[in-house]
């Protein structure tokens, strides 16, 4: 009975969800080492904002904090931990799964080791949510399931001291019919459950046409999914230039620095406020410094980007079973 009452209370709160600010819509066109002193700055005090995904399976997230502007502040503003997974319990309801490599990045003191140090430098740290061949994802949850999943995500943000959630609808292996408003409902409910300073991002790939204008207004940033190109068109209803990244780069691939600089400059001229890079590698694997410098040349008047390390080894170890967060845990 108590659980039923709690579920109803949460549902009532979400039904009276806060409204989100709207602005002009988008117009489509086509190891640890000793560190030097770092200047801490407030998030979002430069534009465009730089978001970078880190593959936690094989890269230490702390590497993202090693890239600096000439004043010592960090080049990267948002780190997306890639990725947690959507699983389901025996009743078919959603759960949040941290795989064997991600578990210790957040659990067992991991958040204090890998999240807090980035935040202390002024970087926002988000947890990306991804499908995992389970037949369930953000696009096929019932209303009750979307409430449960939003509750789980808000719980994870609070538990690990994160700055928000990033969505990426891939690899869900959907079975049966999709639920037309599922994605939008999850976003709106999550927005209502989190403090106002938390962020929601979306990788514009699978089923983002489910995201209506109300849900779009709850998104802080969205990134297009065609790496190495300049794209101003989004499937998300009501997306705006202030929230959209027209440039998405895969740092694990070769990137033409001249093209990167040109695209970045165009993004600045056209009023875009976010640029995204995926798959930060160690410098020994594929050094991103020249790409970051090309971005700076395009948007920060050529401010010199440096790196104090960038080769930190992955030290989180693994937990064979991973870690699962259920709705019951999140209540």
Which residue out of 107, 170, 214, 269 is catalytically annotated? 170
- The torsion defined by the Cα of 56, 62, 64 and 68, in degrees rounded to 10, comes to 180
> Please, where are the H alpha helices in 231-307?
257-269, 283-286, 289-299
3 state SS of 95: strand
Distances (CA, A) of 79 to 47, 89, 180, 201: 16, 29, 30, 11
Length of the chain equals 331
DSSP string of 179-207, one letter each residue: -TTHHHHHHHHHHHHS-TT-EEEEEE-SS
79 Cβ contact partners less than 8 Å away, ≥ 6 residues apart: 51, 52, 53, 54, 61, 64, 118, 123, 124, 125, 126
Residue holding tokens 């943000």?
A: 157
Cis peptide before 261 (omega within 30 of 0): no
- Quick check: is 24 catalytic? no
Task: Give the pairing of strands 306-307 and 244-245.
Answer: unpaired
- Residues labelled catalytic: 170
């Amino acid at each position: 009975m108590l659980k039923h009452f709690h579920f109803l209370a949460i549902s009532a709160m979400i039904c009276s969800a806060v409204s989100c600010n709207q602005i002009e819509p988008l117009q489509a066109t086509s190891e640890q080492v000793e560190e030097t002193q770092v200047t801490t700055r407030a998030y979002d005090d430069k534009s465009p904002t730089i978001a970078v995904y880190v593959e936690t399976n094989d890269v230490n997230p702390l590497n993202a904090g090693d890239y600096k502007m000439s004043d010592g502040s960090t080049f990267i503003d948002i780190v997306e931990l890639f990725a947690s997974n959507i699983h389901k319990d025996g009743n078919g309801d959603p759960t949040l799964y941290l795989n064997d490599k991600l578990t210790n990045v957040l659990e067992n003191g991991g958040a204090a080791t890998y999240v807090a140090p980035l935040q202390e430098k002024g970087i926002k740290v988000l947890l990306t949510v991804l499908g995992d061949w389970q037949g369930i994802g953000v696009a096929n949850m019932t209303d009750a399931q979307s409430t449960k999943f939003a509750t789980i995500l808000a719980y994870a943000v609070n538990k690990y001291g994160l700055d928000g959630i990033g969505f990426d609808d891939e690899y869900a292996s959907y079975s049966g019919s999709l639920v037309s408003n599922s994605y939008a409902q999850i976003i709106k409910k999550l927005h209502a459950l989190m403090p106002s300073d938390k962020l929601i991002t979306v990788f514009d790939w699978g089923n983002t046409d489910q995201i209506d204008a109300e849900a779009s207004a709850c998104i802080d940033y969205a990134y297009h999914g065609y790496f190495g190109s300049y794209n101003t068109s989004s499937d998300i209803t009501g997306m705006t230039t202030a929230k959209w990244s027209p440039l998405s780069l895969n740092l694990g691939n070769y990137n033409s620095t001249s093209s990167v600089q040109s695209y970045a400059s165009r993004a600045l001229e056209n009023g875009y406020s976010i640029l995204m890079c995926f798959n930060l590698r160690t410098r020994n694997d594929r050094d991103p410094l020249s790409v970051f410098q090309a971005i700076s040349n395009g948007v920060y008047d050529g401010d010199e980007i440096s790196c104090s390390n960038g080769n930190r080894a992955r030290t989180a170890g693994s937990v064979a079973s991973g870690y699962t967060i259920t709705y019951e845990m999140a209540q």
